[in-house]
A and B are shown apart, each in its own frame.
Chain A
């Protein structure tokens, strides 16, 4: 979180993460080149660059799209989510190298503008095997470009979280475009079935992961609660809570995170103001509820970010009676002070 914007808020974890990304990409590109040189000595620099960056970008896209659902299924994957943008921007650069060299190699030597040539050199829109697959990759690259240049909190705040999130959900369209770019492109010319198997396994993996994570969330949303007197709803026994951790309850279609902090239960809206991260899946660090996605923090007693930050979330009233915790699901205004309920 930041009161002012800096290009990248480096910290030790981010540096380690980025070094891992750089190391992985370098190792992949070198390995690909060496294997190509051994198997096919007639290779050219352009060809090996186009192929290695293409396969690396596709692999990275699969990793990026796996992180979200994996983190929802198992909290151990949350550290990967924290710096996912760095992986996304790196993937865009790798994909851009592939796109640039492909356009240069296949369209750069004609009299026509290379970018125009991508669209007019093949107009077989009615054919599956002859479909102009390069245009699909081009559109996907445009989506990755827009995502990469807006992958910063400056744009998140200026575009508004809703617009920003909508723009970034176009990554799913880009993924489908990439799958068809491969299937209608290289697969049409490669006789080795291993490529089709890999693409199918990748798509199957992502679809399964997202559907499992989505179903898990639906189940959580449908958890029934019985209303009791004065609008308070019984949610759990107090001994089910762990210090500095939360339990999430979905009441009246809203998710509420109930935290146990220093012997008191506090309830706040579960959605982080930054990117909609699940506050209840974080923990209390230095007295603040810390979003597991990007580290935005809120005080448990009033849902306000500590000064000088200005983010605020709704708070809820909690009551404890005979070892049972109750919540009033009607929210107080964002940042409203609530003293919390003593568990003993």
Chain B
């Protein structure tokens, strides 16, 4: 190595000896503390005991559950794999027209979700529409 190159190497590493620790410490001290008690969604409620219906899809399983008396109906959504949509909303609707549907809740790419649905869900011939509200299109339609 020629003298000029040796000198340049030493200058660069002398500069890094100052700048890199400054960068590392600055970045470490700037880590945002996790927010306490500010969940994006409420904690998942307990599943109702009776499984009425179950549909298996590639990346998720959808179940309808009820209590023993049959007075409550619950939709259980289990993401088996990470969804290709980062976040989506679920509607119940008789047709594929999302504007006429009723919002049930919001799911994200992973996790298990449970939502209360109307007790007349099945009798009214409803289906579930999974709606990507970012791209504004229906991702899936599920009929029990």
On whether the beta carbons of A129 and B24 are closer than 8 Å, the reply is no
Name, among A169, A172, A175, A183, the residue most crowded by chain B CB atoms within 10 Å (CB to CB): A183
With A129-B32, A210-B9, A211-B14 as given contacts, are A183 and B2 in contact (CB-CB < 8 Å)?
no
Judge if B43 is at the interface, Cβ distance under 8 Å: no
On whether the beta carbons of A188 and B19 are closer than 8 Å, the reply is no
Q: List chain A residues, Cβ under 8 A from B14.
A: 211, 214
| B13: contacting residue among A184, A200, A214, A218, CB under 8 A | A214
Q: List chain B residues, Cβ under 8 A from A109.
A: 84
Judge if A271 is at the interface, Cβ distance under 8 Å: yes
**How far apart sit A44 and B82, CA to CA, in the bound complex (Å)?**
8
Q: List chain B residues, Cβ under 8 A from A180.
A: 23, 27
Judge if B57 is at the interface, Cβ distance under 8 Å: no
On whether the beta carbons of B1 and A276 are closer than 8 Å, the reply is yes
**How far apart sit A182 and B81, CA to CA, in the bound complex (Å)?**
27
Q: How many residues of B contact A (CB 8 A)?
A: 29
Q: List chain A residues, Cβ under 8 A from B31.
A: 129, 187-188
**How far apart sit A254 and B84, CA to CA, in the bound complex (Å)?**
63
Judge if B21 is at the interface, Cβ distance under 8 Å: yes
Q: List chain B residues, Cβ under 8 A from A254.
A: 3
On whether the beta carbons of B23 and A179 are closer than 8 Å, the reply is yes
Judge if B16 is at the interface, Cβ distance under 8 Å: yes
Q: How many residues of A contact B (CB 8 A)?
A: 37
In the complex, what's the smallest C-beta–C-beta distance from B26 to chain A, in angstroms? 6
In the complex, what's the smallest C-beta–C-beta distance from A171 to chain B, in angstroms? 10
On whether the beta carbons of B24 and A176 are closer than 8 Å, the reply is no
Question: What string of 1s and 0s marks CB contacts (under 8 Å) between B25-36 and chain A?
Answer: 011101110100
Judge if B40 is at the interface, Cβ distance under 8 Å: no
Q: List chain B residues, Cβ under 8 A from A211.
A: 10, 13-14, 17
The 5 closest A-B CB pairs, nearest first, are A214-B10, A183-B27, A128-B30, A210-B13, A129-B30
A and B contact pairs by CB, cutoff 8 A, 28 listed: A44-B82, A128-B27, A165-B5, A175-B16, A179-B20, A179-B23, A183-B24, A187-B28, A188-B27, A188-B32, A191-B34, A196-B24, A196-B28, A203-B21, A203-B24, A207-B16, A211-B10, A211-B13, A211-B14, A214-B6, A214-B10, A214-B13, A215-B10, A217-B6, A218-B10, A221-B6, A253-B3, A255-B3
Residues of B within 8 A of A (CB): 1-3, 5-6, 8-10, 12-14, 16-17, 19-21, 23-24, 26-28, 30-32, 34, 81-82, 84, 110
